[in-house]
Amino acid sequence: MPQTRAAQKTQGHTPLGHGATELPSVVVDDYNNEERERGHFIGDKANKGAFQVKLHDWRKVLREYADDPLGQNLTDPISKKKVDGLLESGDALSMALAMAAIEDFSRDFAEVIEKYLTFKSWAKTERIVVGGGFREGRAGQIAIARANMILRAGGVNIDLVPITHHPDDAGLIGSVHLMPSWMLKGHNAILAVDIGGTNMRAGIVEFVREKHRIVDASVRESDIWRHADDQPSRSAAIDRLADMLNGLVGKAGKLKLAPLIGIACPGIVNPDGAIKRGGHNLPGGNWESDHFNLPTAVTKAIPTIHDHETLVIMHNDAVVQGLSQLPFMEDVSRWGVMTIGTGLGNARFTNRKPD
């Protein structure tokens, strides 16, 4: 599918493309790694479902001799808030239940990281930033710190740190780092979108540039739609997204909004913007169709921003969330991101001089 006239410009800088391996400030060495072991994805041992299994197993042990502080129902998932409530309860038994699940999960997470580090694309990784919904809760933060201790004790000298921004904001903020600096000149904000299997977020990302580098960025305005509740068709989802973006353009006020939209979505993204695989949980289904192209659909719905032709650039959601951490990664050369959610999102980067 042909790119827009704006997307064909390179001006001697990093070429523009969806799902690119060469970005303005980093090379993407690997993302959405789908290595398997015994028929399962390696990352399956370190996602939100895996933590729920650990908690479920320890609750069954506890029920043999004491009351379960999480109630009688063993089948419903336990929210981050309830797990954090166990840690903050002051009750030794409740705290022990949460800590047992955290310990088991941390050991599996450390094991998963060690396996990733054996891959050529992840060799010599100095730091891994951990994002995703699991990182929001106190239990998730403890699990990250404990996994880092386990790795260090095993002789794996790597830094494991929680992502700096709230994961919801990080999934938007990272889009600004998809954009070549020459396209941001004269502007201080862009539109960004993060599409997941449950929610769709859109926001205005305000940024500060110094000498061709983004040194700070934050979400100025945002809108969220829990599409899982509405179960829309794919076309209805695109229409709703267009409404969200148009609403944000109207809220930009005095910001110098660039005619750029960054999109983060699950899966493998082809250079033409088609989703190769991994988009099966997106609203309405069939996002991987040969006859559908998300960036083209968004450009058609939002053809101009402040009378300038719109350019859309799309990449994998873990890549985008990881890119939000770029200003804090100048002291390392090789680093990665893992996002703990329904699955384990992942990406590995090598820093380069920005355009």
- For CATH 3.30.420.40, list the domain ranges present in the chain: 5-21+169-333
The secondary structure of the chain, three-state, reads CCCCHHHHCCCCCCCCCCCCCECCCEEEEEECCCCEECCEEHHHHHCHHHHHHHHHHHHHHHHCCCCCCCCCCCCCCCCHHHHHHHHHCCCHHHHHHHHHHHHHHHHHHHHHHHHHCCCHHHCCCCEEEEECHHHHCHHHHHHHHHHHHHHHHCCCCCEEEECCCCHHHHHHHHHHHHCCHHHHCCCCEEEEEEECCCCEEEEEEEEEEECCEEEEEEEEEEEEECHHHHCCCHHHHHHHHHHHHHHHHHHCCCCCEEEEEEEEECCEECCCCCEEECCCCCCCCCCCCCCCCHHHHHHHHCCEECCEECEEEEEEHHHHHHHCCHHHCCCCCEEEEEEECCCEEEEEEEECCCC
Average of pLDDT values for 176-196?
A: 94
**Rounded percentage of the chain residues whose pLDDT exceeds 90:** 81
Residues 6+ apart with CB under 8 A from 336: 116, 122, 125, 127, 128, 129, 322, 346, 347, 348, 349
pLDDT digits (tens, 9 = 90+) for 9-31: 444 455 578 999 999 999 999 99
pLDDT at 213: 84
Average of pLDDT values for 123-129?
A: 98
Architecture, CATH, for domain 5-21+169-333? 2-Layer Sandwich (3.30)
- Classified by CATH at the fold level, domain 36-162 comes out as Nucleotidyltransferase; domain 5 (3.30.420)
Question: pLDDT grade, residue 355 (50/70/90)?
Answer: low
**Rounded percentage of the chain residues whose pLDDT exceeds 70:** 95
pLDDT at 72: 86
Between 256 and 12, the more confident residue is 256
pLDDT at 96: 98
Question: pLDDT grade, residue 285 (50/70/90)?
Answer: confident
pLDDT at 329: 96
pLDDT at 354: 61
**pLDDT at position 6 over 60:** no
**pLDDT at position 113 over 90:** yes
Q: Kindly report whether the global pTM for this prediction surpasses the value 0.85.
A: yes
pLDDT at 139: 96
